[in-house]
C-alpha cells in the first residue's frame, strides 16, 4: 500500500500522525510525505534554535531526519513560504494559488500511485489557517481525482507550481543546526547533534 501524508509544516507529520505513519511503514507500506512549507515563520524557540533567516533550513533538515526515522520513502517540499506569526500569536496560511496547489497534490498522488491519503483535520486541529488550507485543498484534490476516474479519462491540466523538491530520507541522518548569529542571542555551549538511525 502506498500512503501520502500531506501537511503544512515540518513536525506536523510527527505530532499529528507519526505513530500511524511508523506503524504503516513497519508493516510494509510505502509512506510518502508532502509538506506545504519549510516552517520559516514558526517560533524560533527559547533559546533560539536558529535566526529567522535560517529557521526554514534547520526545520527542513529536522524533517528529513524525522521522516527517515518514521520509515518514510520520500519527502516533498511543495515550495510555499510560511508567513511569520503575527502580533498576539496570529497565524496565517501561505500565499498560494488554490488550483495550482491542488494540482501539486494530484500530481503527488499520481507519481507515487497513492492508495490512501492522510492530512489535517477539517478544524486545522487548533484552527491554524495553514492546516485548514491543506485539509481543504487535499480534499479537493482527492475529490477531483475520484470524479475524473469515475466520469472520464484522467486529464488534469498541467500546473506551474513553485519550485518543489523531493528528498529520499537517508537511513541514518545527522545534522548540526546553524548557531544563532544575533549578538543578543545566547549561544549554546556546544552544537546540538541530532541522530536519527532507522532500526
Ligand atoms: Zn503545523
Provide, rounded to the nearest whole percent, the portion of the chain with pLDDT above 90.
Answer: 70
Find the 183 Cα to ligand 1 centroid distance in Å.
Answer: 29
Q: Are 76 and 34 in contact (CB under 8 A)?
A: yes
Find the 148 Cα to ligand 1 centroid distance in Å.
Answer: 30
CA dihedral 98, 62, 30, 156 (to 10 degrees): 20
Q: Which CATH code of 2.30.42.10, 3.40.50.10320, 3.40.50.620, 3.30.470.10 fits the domain covering 2-195?
A: 3.40.50.10320
Find the 8 Cα to ligand 1 centroid distance in Å.
Answer: 5
Q: Which residues are within 5 Å of ligand 1 (an ion), measured at CB?
A: 8-9, 12
Find the 89 Cα to ligand 1 centroid distance in Å.
Answer: 14
Dump pLDDT digits (tens) for 99-157: 999 999 999 999 999 999 999 999 999 999 999 999 999 999 999 999 887 876 555 55
Dump pLDDT digits (tens) for 72-108: 999 999 999 999 999 988 999 999 999 999 999 999 9
Find the 105 Cα to ligand 1 centroid distance in Å.
Answer: 17
0.75 exceeded by pTM: yes
How many CA atoms are closer than 13 Å to the CA of 10, on its beta-carbon side?
26
Amino acid at each position: 500500500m502506498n500512503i501520502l501524508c500531506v501537511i503544512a509544516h515540518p513536525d506536523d507529520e510527527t505530532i499529528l500522525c507519526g505513530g500511524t505513519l511508523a506503524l504503516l511503514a513497519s508493516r510494509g507500506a510505502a509512506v510518502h510525505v508532502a509538506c506545504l512549507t519549510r516552517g520559516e515563520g514558526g517560533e524560533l524557540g527559547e533559546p533560539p534554535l536558529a535566526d529567522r533567516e535560517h529557521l526554514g533550513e534547520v526545520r527542513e533538515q529536522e524533517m528529513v531526519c524525522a521522516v527517515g526515522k518514521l520509515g518514510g520513502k520520500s519527502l516533498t517540499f511543495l515550495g510555499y513560504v510560511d508567513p511569520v506569526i503575527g502580533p498576539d500569536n496570529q497565524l496565517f496560511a501561505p500565499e498560494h494559488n488554490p488550483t495550482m496547489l491542488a494540482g501539486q497534490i494530484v500530481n503527488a498522488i499520481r507519481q507515487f500511485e497513492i492508495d490512501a491519503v492522510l492530512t489535517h483535520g477539517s478544524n486545522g486541529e487548533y484552527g491554524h489557517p495553514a492546516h485548514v488550507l491543506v485539509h481543504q485543498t487535499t480534499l479537493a484534490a482527492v475529490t477531483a481525482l475520484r470524479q475524473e476516474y469515475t466520469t472520464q479519462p484522467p486529464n488534469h491540466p498541467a500546473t506551474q507550481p513553485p519550485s518543489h523538491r523531493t528528498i529520499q530520507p537517508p537511513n541514518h541522518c545527522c545534522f548540526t543546526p546553524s548557531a544563532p548569529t544575533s549578538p543578543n542571542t545566547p549561544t549554546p555551549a556546544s552544537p546540538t547533534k541530532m541522530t536519527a538511525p532507522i532500526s
